[in-house]
Structure 1
Amino acid sequence: MSEGQAAVKLLLVDDVPENLVALEALVRGAGREVFCARSGEEALSLMLDHEFGLAILDVQMPGMSGFEVAETMRSTERTRRIPIILVSAAGRELNYAFRGYETGAVDFLHKPLDPHTVRSKVTVFVELCRQRVALQEAHAQLERAVRMRDDFMSMVSHELRTPLNTLYLQAQLRRKALEAGRFDAAALRKIVERDERQIRSMIRLIDDMLDVSRLRTGRLAVVPAPCDLAALVARVVDAFGEQASASGAPLTLQAPPQLPVQCDEFRIEQVLSNLLTNAFRYGGGKPVQVRLAQDGDRAVLAVTDHGMGIAQEHHARIFEQFERAEGAKQAPGLGLGLFIARQIVRAHGGRIELRSAPGEGSTFTIVLPLMAATEPAEP
């Protein structure tokens, strides 16, 4: 059994304790968990609490016979798919086997049991159970992948349509102004600035999609070189000044005058831009702080907002593809920024951490080695 694979549960039912002990000794093995019941009623009770991969039932028991247990199992949704092997000491002339198959049993064994036959048959059904579970898991993963694809296409369509519609309307307004002979340089400048923001937004979405494709094929380029991380961070924070003013959220930076590192400037700038975009998007107009410091042989960069916050159970999930925090489903974006950021930081030999709770804001912390790492990004 491979690591992490659940044990297959086997149910043995016989009213004679000695028979149960002997049968359990035959079927016990690695990756198997054996349960024993001394009556049909006890067996059915166990089936309410466990998912069994095989049930071996003695036919002749006081109270409910093995036939009656099998018929009850086949009439109940929870247990109808459990393979049943019936066992009997009665003579073959009673034709119990035929009746057993009528009740839904998949096999019938006569006592005294042949150990090799029992082991072989149980091994077959255990393997079939594992294959069935694997197929169910693969089917569930396929359904999730299809849902993710559909959600992704829907998000892409929405995220691109919104800025395109805005650009189209602005173009129509400019056309009418030109046709009417009206030309206001100040108004035109504002329109152009708005157009540039919309275009940058679309470019960012397209770049995110391309980066995910590169990550999946192992082609995300990370080229470390000597860099002043303090100057890089100051440059990015300054570029977000207009967005901070527009959102009414004060943006502050605490950093040393210099912090020499080896990193891919473009990629680290991309990570910080993603974190600041999220901070303003989900920060509720409250202050955003950026802090940079050196800690031994590592650089520590933190972005803190005071917005909605993220519950502990969602901390790992939001770093996956197309995932966002609960309550942020209506916010713009494809849910790719944090996924890409984590891969870039890993490619530098670093890590990204999150400290957050609902209503208390969020702090994303990037820890980078001062010297360049040689580890490739993990897909």
Structure 2
Amino acid sequence: MLSEIKAKLLIVDDLPENLLALEALIKREDRQVYKALSADEALSLLLEHEFAMAILDVQMPGMNGFELAEMMRGTEKTKSIPIVFVSAAGRELNYAFKGYESGAVDFLHKPLDIHAVKSKVNVFVDLYRQRKAMKQQVEELERSRQEQEALLRELKSTQNELEHAIRMRDDFMSIVSHEVRTPLNGLILETQLRKLHLAKDNASAFTMDKLKAMVDRDERQIQSLIRLIEDMLDVSRIRTGKLSIRTSPFDLSELVVNLVESYAAQIAAAESVVTLHASEPVIGVWDEFRIEQVVANLLTNALRYGAHKPIQVRVYSEGSEARVEVKDQGIGISAENQKRIFQQFERVSASHAVSGLGLGLFISDQIVAAHGGTISVESEEGCGSLFRVSLPL
């Protein structure tokens, strides 16, 4: 409400009795009256407070009321304060002109008319309160507009995130369907073929060598399904903060040597060659299963994207860190893609038809981070990639 806005009034006169008399006329509970006996005192108060109006005596020693008004009009903080002059010089026209030129909005003549003083002060106080109320309303409207704009931006951002999440979900379901179907189709075809041989009593299809080949093929397809399921379970564990890390001392070099040896079939299938540099033991305290999972992911990616070219794997220690590097000479990764490949369901490029859910690097990054380490990539499109895992010893 307007009455809740307290108005400050300034009265300036070199005679204390005039100040007291004027204060008695205009003072009310919702107003605060400040008194000054000189222009200098008035200027100090004007710089300190915001006044609804100023009542200035014209004839004062030193700086008179006109001069004070001119100074007020020349100062940004005080130029809009309504000024009412009090004069005992009568109603001469030239005198009034000088007052208005100095910035007066009205005159009071001595002896003061009590009703006129109160009425004029009420008018200027009401105008001040209306301006203040309007300013507050404008500020509130501006705040509301800014809040609405911020809310719209937030809603737009949320909408974009939801649309992105829906696209990711659809892409993920498409990838999962394809990735799960591939090993399942292999198992189904193998089963149907065996049923056909059994229906025809074709015992020659089940010699020891052929049975061994069948079992090997079945095992590869089953392992592919297990890896898919484990990756999805790991993502769920990471999201819920339940990714378990069980540390114990072991030799990182030995782990990588054994892993590369176990990948002989995959390396041959990728028509590639892996050169391993792990001549010195690198002993540290980590989760052996999880670190093997990280290196296996990097080696698998190198074989997928390595364009059948040689791959280098290096294990070494530097300072207080253990390092594993996997370097290929394949398709490489653009600077833009390097920013996203460690996110969920992201792969190097949709233009390269390769298998996988796009979870390997995301899971690897989370595992390495859980050990207090980092995983980084150095790459250029068409020039291969170097992935480096750094783990505190």
- TM-score > 0.5, shorter chain as reference: yes
Change over 3 Å in CA distance of 1:112–1:225 after alignment to 2: closer
| Post-superposition offset of 1:328 | 5.2
Contact in 2 for aligned 1:250/1:287 (Cα 8 Å) = yes
Alignment partner, residue 19 of structure 2: none
Partner residue of 2:333? 310
Aligned pair partner of 1:162 in 182, 205, 211: 182
Q: Give the Cα separation in 1 of the matches to 2:370 and 2:376.
A: 15
**In structure 1, what is the Cα distance between the partners aligned to 2:270 and 2:154?**
50
Of 136, 140, 149 in structure 1, the residue corresponding to residue 156 of structure 2 is 136
Q: Secondary structure at the match of 1:318?
A: coil
- The whole-number CA distance in structure 1 between the counterparts of 2:350 and 2:154 is 34
Distance in 2, Cα, partners of 1:187 & 1:111: 96
Verify the 8 A CA contact 1:255 1:291 in the aligned structure 2: yes
CA contact (8 A) 2:280 2:316 kept: no
| Cα deviation 1:142-173 (Å, max 9, x = unaligned) | 11111111211111111001110111101111
Deviation of 1:180 after TM superposition, in Å, equals 2.0
Tell me which of 134, 141, 153 is aligned to 1:114: 134
Q: Which residue of 2 aligns with 1:251?
A: 274
- Match runs of 1:1-379 below 5 Å: 114-178=134-198, 179-182=201-204, 183-327=206-350, 329-370=352-393
Give 5+ residue unaligned stretches, structure 1: 1-109, 371-379
The letter for the 2-side match of 1:181 is: A
Counterpart CA distance in 1 for 2:192 and 2:350 is 35
Deviant stretches of 4+, over 6 Å = 110-113
Q: Cα distance, 1:129 vs. partner?
A: 1.0
Could you say what secondary structure the match of 1:354 adopts? strand
**Bigger CA radius of gyration:** 2
**1:341-379 deviations in Å (ceiling 9; x for gaps):** 000000010000101111111110000011xxxxxxxxx
Q: Which amino acid aligns with 2:167?
A: R
Q: Deviations over 1:25-79 (max 9, x none)?
A: xxxxxxxxxxxxxxxxxxxxxxxxxxxxxxxxxxxxxxxxxxxxxxxxxxxxxxx
How far apart in 1 are the matches of 2:214 and 2:275? 29
For the 8 Å contact 1:241–1:251, the answer to whether it is kept is no
Match of 1:83 in 2: none
Cα displacement (A) at 1:274: 0.6
Residue 213 of structure 2 aligns with an amino acid whose one-letter code is K
Give the alignment's TM-score, normalised by structure 2: 0.64
Query: Once structures 1 and 2 are overlaid, which stretch shifts more, 110-119 or 200-209?
Result: 110-119
SS in structure 2 at match of 1:333: coil
SS at match of 1:226: strand
Range that drifts further, 203-212 or 244-253: 244-253
* Count of aligned pairs: 261
2:263 counterpart letter in structure 1? F
Moved more, 327-336 or 288-297: 327-336
Q: State the TM-score, normalizing by the size of structure 1.
A: 0.66
Instruction: Determine if contact 2:327/2:385 at 8 Å carries over to the other structure.
Output: yes
Q: Deviations over 1:286-325 (max 9, x none)?
A: 1111100110111110001111000111112011000011
Contact 2:309–2:328 (CA<8 Å) still a contact in 1?
yes
Uncovered stretches (5+) of structure 2, i.e. residues with no partner? 1-129
Question: How far apart in 2 are the matches of 1:307 and 1:191?
Answer: 32
Change in CA separation of 1:147 and 1:322 when aligned onto 2, cut-off 3 Å:
same
Q: In the alignment, which residue of structure 1 is the partner of 2:82? A: none
Partner of 2:341: helix, strand, or coil?
helix
Counterpart residue identity of residue 177, structure 1? H
Cα RMSD between the aligned structures?
A: 1.7
Larger helix proportion, structure 1 or 2?
2
